[in-house]
């Protein structure tokens, strides 16, 4: 991974954009949705940037940039077509410890701009590490049609309810089950049914966990597709064996790894609603199948 995605707090961030052509306007359109302070310096200003200045979204200075302009900022975007100028400012900015993006020179950037699907609190950022911005744009377009616009309201609703859920369900495990159940009922829309689903989800919480059993040496890629979502919601992966890399990739990243547990401890965890996978030799799996009839035995082509 050459570039690592992070979501930066934009409130109060001081951003300087040098250049005010079409490329600058595309980045400014997104940046101006944040609470950052945005200054733009350029002698020639395209219509879109001028409109943002007129609406008070950016502070525009119509002149050539100077190195002194870099004082006191957090983030610099260079969007001029003057290559030596872009380079000179980028190097100076780096020397000052600033974050810098030069729109047409990834080598001079210490961060690059993703394609963004904006649904309020829900943000999806896509990057190809500079390999194919057009693909990032196309994938964004696909996600735009896939993610309903009411997701913004849905996540505002959820954010409002977080404290209430913490009070009503003091146990972390219960809250996790609650939210999974809520999304199962509600899907990804916000409408007049959302409030009902929210209440309904409290009523349908079951304390029964899930046990997945996988015999050592099972070819992971031959497991049925339905096994993947189950592995993605595991709380624990128990095994005394070395895990195949492919298995580690598929299991939920936050799942805890543990040596094999005694049966009583395994039962206790399932009673608490936890989701456990056991990866062990056939003999152990056969015993577990007998002891936990509800367990899901993962095998190529079958569950
Ligand atoms: C490295 C990066 C640096 C950065 O800008 O941060 C960069 C670099 C370059 N872009 C170039 C060209 C184009 N870029 C776009 C579009 C977008 N470019 C964006 C990001 C990035 N572009 C960063 C990497 C992102 C990643 O990881 O994928 C997007 C996602 C976000 C945004 O810019 O806001 C936005 C889509 C937004 C959306 O629609 O959602 C189009 C298509 C179009 O305009 O429709 C073209 C023309 C077609 C083509 O040439 O491919 C060139 C060649 C310039 C030349 O040849 O003159 C370079 C330089 C080089 O590759 O060396
Ligand atoms: N990263 C990307 O997505 C893409 C990058 N590009 C590159 O981005 C650059 C900008 O593209 P456009 O916006 O189309 O160019 P443009 O020519 O429309 O705009 C250039 C801007 O830079 C300003 N400028 C020039 N010298 C300046 C100085 N000394 N101080 C302050 N401002 C100055 C101009 O006044 C103008 O506002 C080009 O080099 C282009 O090759 C092009 C396509 C996509």
pLDDT of residue 303: 63
| Ligand 2 pocket test target in 18, 19, 109 with most atoms within 8 Å of CB | 19
Q: What is the DSSP code string of 176-188?
A: HHHHHHHHHHHTT
The verdict on ipTM greater than 0.85 is yes
- What domains can you pick out in the chain, each with its CATH number? 1-113 (3.40.50.720), 115-147 (3.30.160.110), 151-203 (no CATH), 210-298 (3.40.1010)
Q: Is 115 in the pocket of ligand 1 (CB under 6 A)?
A: yes
DSSP state of 265: H
d(CA 111, CA 113): 7
Q: Supply the residue whose CA is at minimum distance from atom 25 of ligand 2.
A: 80
d(CA 16, CA 92): 14
- Rounded to the nearest angstrom, the distance between the alpha carbon of 43 and the centre of ligand 1 is 23
By most ligand atoms within 8 Å of CB, the mutation choice from 16, 21, 137 for ligand 2 is: 21
Task: Classify residue 162 as exposed, middle or buried by CB count within 10 Å of its CB (0-12, 13-18, 19+).
Answer: exposed
- Identify the pLDDT of residue 294: 79
Name the one residue in this structure whose structure tokens are 């001029």.
Answer: 80
Question: Which ligand is the nearest neighbour of the Cα of 136?
Answer: 1
**What SS3 class is residue 40?**
strand
Model confidence, pTM: 0.75
Name beta bridge partners: 124: 117
Q: Which ligand is nearest to the CA of 16?
A: 2
Ligand 2 centroid–CA 55 distance in Å is 22
Q: What is the whole-number distance in angstroms between the Cα of residue 104 and the centre of ligand 1? A: 8
**129 touches ligand 1 (CB under 6 Å):** yes
* Ligand 2 pocket by Cβ (under 6 Å): 18-24, 41-44, 64-65, 79-82, 85, 103-104, 133
If DSSP states are collapsed to H, E and C, what string results for 64-114? CCCHHHHCCCCEEEECCCCHHHHHHHHHHHHHCCCEEEECCCHHHCCCCCC
pLDDT recorded at residue 259: 96
For residue 78, the ligand closest to its alpha carbon is 2
The DSSP H or E segment spanning 138 is: helix 133-146
Amino acid 208: pLDDT = 66
Residue 174 exposure: Cα atoms within 13 Å on the Cβ side: 12
pLDDT in tens, the chain (303 residues): 999 999 999 999 999 999 999 999 999 999 999 999 999 999 999 999 999 999 999 999 999 999 999 999 999 999 999 999 999 999 999 999 999 999 989 999 999 999 999 999 999 999 999 999 999 999 999 999 999 999 999 999 999 999 999 998 888 888 988 998 899 889 999 999 999 999 988 877 765 688 999 999 999 999 988 899 889 989 999 999 999 999 999 999 889 999 999 998 998 888 777 889 999 999 999 999 888 877 899 999 866
The DSSP string of 210-276 is: EEEEEETT--GGGS-TTHHHHHTT-SEEE-SSPPPHHHHHHS-TT-EEEPPPPHHHHHHHHHTT-EE
* Long-range contacts from 65-71, C-beta under 8 angstroms, 24+ separation: 65/18, 65/41, 65/89, 67/92, 69/16, 69/18, 69/39, 69/41, 70/16, 70/96, 70/98
Q: Provide the 3-class DSSP secondary structure of residue 172.
A: helix
Separation of alpha carbons 74 and 106, rounded Å: 19
* Protein residue with its CA nearest to atom 53 in ligand 1: 104
Largest interatomic CA distance in the chain? 78
Q: Which residues, 6+ apart, have CB-to-CB distance to 237 below 8 Å?
A: 243, 251, 255, 256, 257, 258, 276, 277, 279
Assess contact for 40 and 47: CB atoms under 8 A.
no
Q: Six-digit token pair at 26? A: 């595309």
Tokens standing for residue 297? 């035995």
Q: Is the CB of 196 under 6 A from ligand 1?
A: no
């Amino acid at each position: 991974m050459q570039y690592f995605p992070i979501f930066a707090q934009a409130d109060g961030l001081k951003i300087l954009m040098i250049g005010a052509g079409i490329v600058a306007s595309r980045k400014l359109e997104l940046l101006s949705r944040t609470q950052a302070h945005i200054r733009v310096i350029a002698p020639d200003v395209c219509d879109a940037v001028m409109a943002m200045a007129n609406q008070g979204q950016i502070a525009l200075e119509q002149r050539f940039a100077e190195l002194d302009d870099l004082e006191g900022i957090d983030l610099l975007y260079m969007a001029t077509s003057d290559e030596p100028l872009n380079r000179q400012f980028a190097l100076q900015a780096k020397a000052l410890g600033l974050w810098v993006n030069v729109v047409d020179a990834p080598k001079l950037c210490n961060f690059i701009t993703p394609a963004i699907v904006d649904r309020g609190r829900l943000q999806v950022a896509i990057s190809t590490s500079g390999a194919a911005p057009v693909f990032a744009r196309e994938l964004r377009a696909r996600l735009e049609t896939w993610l309903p616009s009411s997701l913004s309201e849905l996540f505002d609703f959820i954010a409002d309810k977080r404290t209430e859920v913490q009070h009503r369900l003091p146990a972390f495990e219960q809250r996790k089950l609650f939210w999974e159940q809520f999304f199962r009922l509600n899907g990804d829309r916000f409408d007049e049914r959302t409030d009902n689903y929210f209440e309904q989800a409290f009523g349908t919480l079951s304390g029964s966990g899930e046990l997945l059993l996988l015999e050592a040496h099972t070819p992971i890629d031959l497991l049925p597709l339905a096994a993947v979502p189950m592995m993605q919601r595991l709380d624990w992966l128990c095994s005394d064996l070395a895990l195949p890399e492919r298995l580690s990739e598929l299991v939920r990243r936050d799942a805890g790894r543990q040596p094999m547990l005694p049966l009583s401890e395994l039962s206790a965890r399932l009673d608490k609603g936890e989701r456990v996978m056991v990866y062990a030799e056939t003999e152990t799996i056969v015993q577990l199948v007998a002891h936990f009839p509800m367990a899901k035995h993962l095998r190529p082509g079958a569950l």
